[in-house]
Amino acid sequence: MNYRISADTMKSLQKAQKNEITEYHIYSRLSSYIKNEYNSNILKQIAMDEHHHYNVLKTFTGTDKKPNSLKILFYTLISLIFGITFGIKLMERGEKSSENLYRELGENIDEFKRIADEEDKHEKGLVEIIEEERLKFVSSMVLGLNDALVELTGTLAGLTFALKNTRLIALAGLITGISASLSMATSEYLSTRTEEDNARAFKSALYTGGAYVFTVVCLVLPYLIFSNYVVSLVFTIIAAILIILVFNFYISVAKGLSFKERFFEMAGISLGVAVISFIIGYFIRLFLGVDI
């Protein structure tokens, strides 16, 4: 090795070495938990790559590094709960500094150039071909969430000043929301069934209906907790924004889509409909002379 590595760069290499052995354990653990043999083999292959990178770095640092146990636990749980694609891509988002370091050193040292190429082409390519059911039905989840957010946020906002009673608003919201979720799930099943097999159509309907019901519960819950209808509406709006925030972050990581654009689009539509419905509910109450 003719290229001299500075003390600061050596510290960065040791940090990268620790990351490599940590990720080796994460991929190995996930491969043993995943029942899908195809996905398990992909994770084993990536784990082998990470272990190889660790050994290459070890020849430069001359030290052994222990894996980060907390990081292993965190990303293993995240992957098992939200899906391996999301967990892995979220983890890889935090490793940009190591990739940049490999690229920089790769200009003078062939070993680092090979590691950087493997990170970009091999490992990331393998992650992209992981087969994960929930990602196949993202469009169904988007349909359920988006429709529930737009329809129910607007409905609850309109009912808030029309009824001015949190229990009545919650009752009307639940009836409307659950009925709409069943309608959405049925429509999704029938539309998908004409194009796909029955099993896929059924799963698509479940994801659509499930996402809708989840959103309904989150939006109606404030009216069951608080007695003040204005406070309930405020927390319902906050819940809607949080759902949009979390879901779009998940999609942006798992599918590699723009977070900011999708978030502001969904938030703008949902809140815009809520404001319009709120105004409509207020004027209908005045027009009909309803006072509850």
Q: Are residues 228 and 186 in the same domain?
A: yes
User: Is 153:236 a contact under the CB 8 Å cutoff?
Assistant: yes
99 in a domain, yes or no? yes
- 55 with 157, same domain: the answer is no
The answer to whether residues 19 and 162 belong to one domain is no
- 45 and 108 part of one domain: yes
pLDDT tens track, the chain, 292 positions: 555 778 888 888 888 899 999 999 999 998 888 888 888 888 888 899 899 999 989 988 889 999 999 999 999 998 888 888 888 888 877 666 777 788 888 777 888 888 888 777 666 666 666 666 666 677 677 777 777 887 788 788 778 877 788 998 999 889 988 888 888 888 878 777 765 566 778 888 888 888 888 989 999 999 999 999 889 989 998 998 888 888 888 888 877 777 887 788 877 887 787 777 767 766 776 666 655 5
Question: Do 115 and 138 share a domain, yes or no?
Answer: no
> In angstroms, what CA-CA distances link 154 with 149, 235, 262?
8, 14, 20
Residue 1: inside a domain, yes or no?
no
Q: Is 190 exposed, middle or buried (0-12, 13-18, 19+ CB in 10 A)?
A: exposed
Q: Are residues 34 and 70 in the same domain?
A: yes
Is the residue at 2 inside a domain?
no
Structural domain contains residue 65: yes
Q: Are residues 138 and 22 in the same domain?
A: no
**Largest Cα–Cα distance in the chain?**
88
One-letter identity of residue 92:
E
Q: Does residue 95 sit in the same domain as residue 158? A: no
215 plus 154 within the same structural domain: yes
The pTM (predicted TM-score) of the whole model is 0.70
- With tokens 């039905």, the residue in question is 137
Q: Tokens standing for 248?
A: 């779009």
Query: Is 80 within 8 Å of 39 (Cβ atoms)?
Result: no
Domain count, the chain: 2
DSSP string, 109-136: -HHHHHHHHIIIIIIHHHHHT---HHHH
Is residue 112 located within the same domain as residue 84?
yes
> Which one of 131, 165, 186 terminates a domain?
131
Per the document, the length of the chain is 292
Q: Are residues 102 and 166 in the same domain?
A: no
Any domain includes 41: yes
Rounded CA-CA distance 195/151 in Å is: 27
* Domain housing 248: 134-288
